Amino acid sequence: MSRQDGIITRAQALECGMSSSTVTRQVRSGEWSTLAPGIYLRADREHTESVSLRAAVYCAGRDAVAWGPSAAWWHGLLDRPPGHHYVTVTHRRALPQRHEVRLRRRDLHWKDTVVVRSLPVTALPLTVLEAAVELPNGSVLMDRALQRHTSLEVLQRVHLRNSGRHGARAAARLLWSAGDGGHSEAERILHRLLRTAGLIGWRAHARSCGYEIDVVFDAERVAIEIDGWAWHRDAQRHRRDAERQNVLVNAGWHVLRFTWHTLTQDPEGVLRQIRTAMSRHR
């Protein structure tokens, strides 16, 4: 119970040598409170977010695991837990849907499940792929994971092993964008935004001060630089980009930088910043 945030299941208690009548006495005496049928919490422990997720997974049976955003939070990839619990059970289990649980039936490969702090969850690479699809800012989560916890090659292998899953197509697009295709796709997204918004007077791949700039508005002296995914940027590249920006600013350019994530998740914000920069130079 100390390893499980104060929780124990009836099956675990019996496996530890307690009798069924002893378990019942623990509940009747108030030493244990019932979270769900066969799921108990010690009376001196708080009902935390961790307790809530454990109860959802334990309640779904021995073969259940947390997945997606729930697993991402459990792995430490998210600061806060999601609004729903994400739980996977095998196809052979028939469980009723609960409004607070996002339940799915799927048989996972043994390589794609781990036990973290006594809770079965999807392994980190699969968690990254699935949470990235489920969350509105999922590409940022994937980018951070690539910087610290995994590699693009590992994510690609796990994606292929689970190619038939729900959300696989969206994950494939994210993986392509996270690789070499990210910068070129971000450029196309920006060009499409500018055309759709009716902004004119811009050029792509213009040169100034010895550098090629992704997009410039010559009349307003606005230069737009597009950054790919952060996991590509090492310290040396970061220093070169800072030097480049300083040169352009000193030459009279108003420099804006947008990432792939910003362009895809906040296009209106991108356009708003561009219009503001243009208005300052008129």
User: So where are the chain's domains?
Assistant: 1-45, 48-178, 181-280
Paired sense of beta strands 39-42 and 113-116, if any: unpaired
| Helix, strand, coil percent content, the chain, rounded in steps of 5 | 50, 20, 30
pTM score above 0.75: yes
| CATH 1.20.1250.20 fits domain 181-280 | no
From 256, 238, 125, 218, select the one nearest 178 (Cα to Cα).
125
Q: Tell me: pLDDT of 135 over 70.
A: yes
pLDDT in tens, 6-17: 999 999 999 999
Q: Which residues pair with 35 in a beta bridge?
A: none
Q: Tell me: pLDDT of 281 over 80.
A: no
pLDDT in tens, 88-123: 999 887 776 677 899 999 999 999 999 999 999 999
- The 3-state DSSP class for residue 170 equals helix
Q: Which residues pair with 33 in a beta bridge?
A: 41
pLDDT in tens, 151-209: 999 999 999 999 888 899 999 999 988 887 677 888 999 999 999 999 999 999 999 99
pLDDT in tens, 170-182: 999 999 888 876 7
Q: Are 38 and 26 in contact (CB under 8 A)?
A: no
- Total number of residues shown for the chain: 282
Cα 167 to Cα 22: distance, rounded to the nearest angstrom: 46
Q: What are phi and psi of 206, to 5 degrees?
A: -90, 155
Q: Are 35 and 66 in contact (CB under 8 A)?
A: no
What is the phi-psi region of residue 68: left when phi exceeds 0, alpha when psi lies from -120 to 50, beta otherwise? Answer: left
